Every structure is written in structure tokens, then in C-alpha cells.
Amino acid sequence: MIYRRKTYKIQPEKLNDFNEFFHSYLYPNQIKYGAKLIGRWVNDKQTEILAIWEYKSIEQYESIESLIRNSELHKNAKEKIKELGELYMEDNQDFLTSTANYHSPKHIISVSGYITNKAGEVLLVRNFHRSDTMEMPGGQVEEGETLEEAIHREVFEETGVKIDLHGITGIYQNITSGVTCIVFRGEYQSGEVRNAENETSEVYFTKLNKENINQFITRNQFRSRTLDAMEPNYLPYEAFKARPYELINRYEVKKEYS
């Protein structure tokens, strides 16, 4: 593995514009072709942004850069820069190699929610870094968090909506990224629908069915889990603590949604 360290010098007032540009254009183009973002940071004065990317080899990095330069998203990014003006004053990069493996292999658990309102409409979001598709709201489970806590938090953070849950409708594993997603079905409880800054560019309830789903959800993996949630067969779910055993919550198996 090799690591690319990219540093941008910015004006503090340009931070939000730069973050939105990064999530809309730079990030999705890199991961589309196989790069992995290790992390991204800004200093206290908000004058410097640091990003570290991982590649299998320098050859892979060069191949990805070539593909990006010829991509439609890269062309759109250049047009966006003309519109926004100068986003950064200076940028630098260098390459690093790891001296050893200090971390055990890990998987990422995420959650998403098929959330309906009284009209039977489904809550969908468009993320800045996946702007080509709508999808169910959701995100990564944080350390020490139950799946139920995570889906409540993620839906509220992305959409401003509080929800009631019915249960789990499916489990989906992405072997390439190491992400396993657990999908809940639930319904709107309260809150005003709104976008999340630097995360979701569109949030709304809409009529969704097998006939029109392709108009909204263009990625196969998001479409299949949404279709499963439309006519759910619920899975049992239990959250607990051990030593001593303490049951936190449990959802029973249900054959149909009512």
C-alpha cells in the first residue's frame, strides 16, 4: 500500500465551499475508481486541509488519475470551479509508505431506514458524495452504539426527522469495501424535513413503487434493499450486554407489515 498526503491552503471563509466541492466532485471520483480515503482534517485556524488517500500501488494511483482526468465528473468539477472562483491558494502532495501494520482487520457496520409517512410516501436523500442517486437515509454505526440507536441518530442527522421502528428487513454485505448494511423499516414520528449541511443536498418524501423506483434510485445495491423493504419479512434483532447478561431491546420476527 502507498499513501498520498494532499494539503490545501485555504481562506477560512472558503471552508464550507471547499468541503461541498470535495464531497460532490473530488471524493466520489476517487472512490469510483478504487482509491480509499483514510481521513481528512482541518487545522484550528481553518487555513489548511489535509487529506490522506490509500492506493494499492503507485501504478494504481496513476491509473486512477488518468481515468479521473477523462471523466465527466472531472469536467463538471472544472466548470464548478469557474463558478465558485478560487477555492484554495496552494496545494501540495507527497507519498508515504507504512513502516508496519498496527491495526487489526476490521469491518464497517452501517444502517439505513425505509421510512414512510401517513400518506405512504418514502423518505429519500441525495448525498453529496453519491449525487447520482437517491437512497434511504443512513450511515455508519458508532462505537458503543446499538443498531437501533444508530438508525435513529443517522435519520435525524440527515433529514431532521424522528422515527418509530418496526424491525429489520435485510442485511447487505459489500465485500469490496468491507461495509455491511442493516436496513430497518419504520415510520415518521415528528420533525421538519431538511437537508444536512455538507452531507445531503436533497431530502424529501415521495411516492415510491416497483414501477417508478428506477427514476429515483439508480444504484443496484440501493435499489435491491429498498425493494426488499417494500414488502418486508422482518428478521429478529436483539441488542444486549454481557457479563452479566442484560437485554437492551429485541424485535421479533413478523411475516408482514401492518
Q: Which CATH number fits the domain that encloses residue 210?
A: 3.90.79.10
Whether 170 and 228 share a structural domain:
yes
User: Considering 96, 129, 152, which residue would you say is the last residue of a domain?
Assistant: 96
Residue 102 belongs to a domain: no
Residue 100 confidence (pLDDT)? 80
Residue 258 confidence (pLDDT)? 44
Whether 90 and 114 share a structural domain:
no
Residue 252 belongs to a domain: no
Whether 184 and 62 share a structural domain:
no
Walk along the chain (258 residues) and give the pLDDT tens digit of each residue: 899 999 999 999 999 999 999 999 999 999 999 999 999 999 999 999 999 999 999 999 999 999 999 999 999 999 999 998 889 999 999 999 988 877 766 789 999 999 999 999 999 999 988 999 999 999 999 988 999 999 999 999 999 999 999 999 999 999 888 899 999 999 999 999 999 988 899 999 999 999 999 999 999 999 999 999 999 889 888 888 888 888 888 887 765 544
Per the structure, the count of domains in the chain is 2
CA distance 2 to 14: 30
Whether 126 and 74 share a structural domain:
no
User: Considering 37, 61, 96, which residue would you say is the last residue of a domain?
Assistant: 96
Whether 60 and 177 share a structural domain:
no
Whether 129 and 215 share a structural domain:
yes
Residue/partner pairs of 58-67 with CB below 8 Å, 24 or more apart? 58/2, 58/95, 60/34, 61/2, 61/4, 61/35, 63/33, 64/30, 64/33, 64/34, 64/35, 67/33
> Residues 46, 18: contact at Cβ < 8 Å?
no
Whether 8 and 87 share a structural domain:
yes
Whether 112 and 229 share a structural domain:
yes
Q: Which CATH number fits the domain that encloses residue 40?
A: 3.30.70.100
Residue 247 belongs to a domain: no
Q: Which amino acid is at 5?
A: R
Does the pTM of the predicted model rise above 0.85? no
Note down the domain range covering 217: 108-238
Whether 118 and 230 share a structural domain:
yes
Whether 85 and 113 share a structural domain:
no
Residue 177 confidence (pLDDT)? 81
CA distance 72 to 7: 25
User: Considering 62, 96, 130, which residue would you say is the last residue of a domain?
Assistant: 96
> Residues 183, 113: contact at Cβ < 8 Å?
yes
